[in-house]
Copies of this chain bind each other. A is one copy, B any other.
Amino acid sequence: MENKTGGPYRHRMGEKKITLLTKDRKPLANTEVTVKQTKHRFLFGCGAFESVPLANGELEGEKKELAEEIFNKFFKIFNYCTLPFYWARFEPVPGKPDTQSLKKAAEWLVSKGCTLKGHPLCWHTLTAPWLLDYTNAEILQMQLNRIRRDVANFAGVIDIWDVINEVVIMPVFNKYDNGITRICRELGRIRLVREVFRAAKKANPDAVLLINDFETSESYEILIEGCLEAGIPIDAIGIQSHMHQGYWGVEKTLEILERFSRFKLPIHFTENTLVSGHLMPPEIVDLNDYVVDSWPTTPEGEERQAREIVLHYKTLFTHPAVESITYWNFVDGGWLGAPAGLLRKDGTTKPSYEELSRLINEEWWTHEKTYVTDENGSLIVSGFLGEYEIYAKDALIGGFQLSRDDSEEKIILNS
Q: What is the interface of chain A, defined by CB distance below 8 A to chain B?
A: 168, 172, 188-191, 217-219, 222-223, 225-227, 229-230, 262
* Other 14 A-B pairs with CB < 8 A, given A189-B222, A229-B229: A168-B218, A168-B222, A188-B225, A189-B225, A190-B225, A190-B226, A217-B219, A218-B219, A222-B226, A225-B226, A226-B226, A226-B229, A229-B230, A230-B230
24 CB-based A-B contacts, threshold 8 Å: A168-B218, A168-B222, A172-B218, A188-B225, A188-B229, A189-B222, A189-B225, A190-B225, A190-B226, A191-B229, A217-B219, A218-B219, A219-B219, A219-B222, A222-B222, A222-B223, A222-B226, A223-B226, A226-B226, A226-B229, A226-B230, A229-B229, A229-B230, A230-B230
| Identity of the chain B residue whose Cβ is nearest the Cβ of A168 in the assembled complex | B218
CB distance from A130 to the nearest CB of B (A): 27
Complex contacts, A188 vs chain B, CB 8 Å = 225, 229, 262
Tally of this chain's copies: 2
Give the secondary structure class of A's interface.
Answer: helix
Q: What 7 A-B pairs come out closest when comparing CB atoms?
A: A226-B226, A229-B230, A219-B219, A190-B229, A222-B222, A222-B223, A218-B219
Complex contacts, A230 vs chain B, CB 8 Å = 226, 229-230
Give the residue among A190, A222, A227 with the most B Cβ atoms within 10 A.
A222
Complex contacts, A218 vs chain B, CB 8 Å = 168, 172, 219
Give the residue among A218, A219, A223 with the most B Cβ atoms within 10 A.
A218
- Bound Cα distance A332, B264 (Å): 49
CB distance from A31 to the nearest CB of B (A): 53
CB distance from A113 to the nearest CB of B (A): 39
- Bound Cα distance A262, B191 (Å): 14
Complex contacts, A189 vs chain B, CB 8 Å = 222, 225
Give the residue among A190, A226, A230, A262 with the most B Cβ atoms within 10 A.
A226
Complex contacts, A227 vs chain B, CB 8 Å = 226
- Bound Cα distance A227, B190 (Å): 11
| Identity of the chain B residue whose Cβ is nearest the Cβ of A185 in the assembled complex | B262
Complex contacts, A222 vs chain B, CB 8 Å = 168, 189, 219, 222-223, 226
- Bound Cα distance A172, B258 (Å): 12
| Identity of the chain B residue whose Cβ is nearest the Cβ of A220 in the assembled complex | B222
- Bound Cα distance A172, B225 (Å): 15
| Identity of the chain B residue whose Cβ is nearest the Cβ of A226 in the assembled complex | B226
- Bound Cα distance A191, B219 (Å): 16
- Bound Cα distance A225, B218 (Å): 14
Complex contacts, A172 vs chain B, CB 8 Å = 218
CB distance from A124 to the nearest CB of B (A): 15
- Bound Cα distance A226, B229 (Å): 7
CB distance from A167 to the nearest CB of B (A): 9
- Bound Cα distance A190, B263 (Å): 13
- Bound Cα distance A227, B230 (Å): 9
Complex contacts, A219 vs chain B, CB 8 Å = 217-219, 222
Complex contacts, A262 vs chain B, CB 8 Å = 188
- Bound Cα distance A191, B218 (Å): 16
CB distance from A69 to the nearest CB of B (A): 45
Complex contacts, A229 vs chain B, CB 8 Å = 188, 190-191, 226, 229-230
CB distance from A20 to the nearest CB of B (A): 48
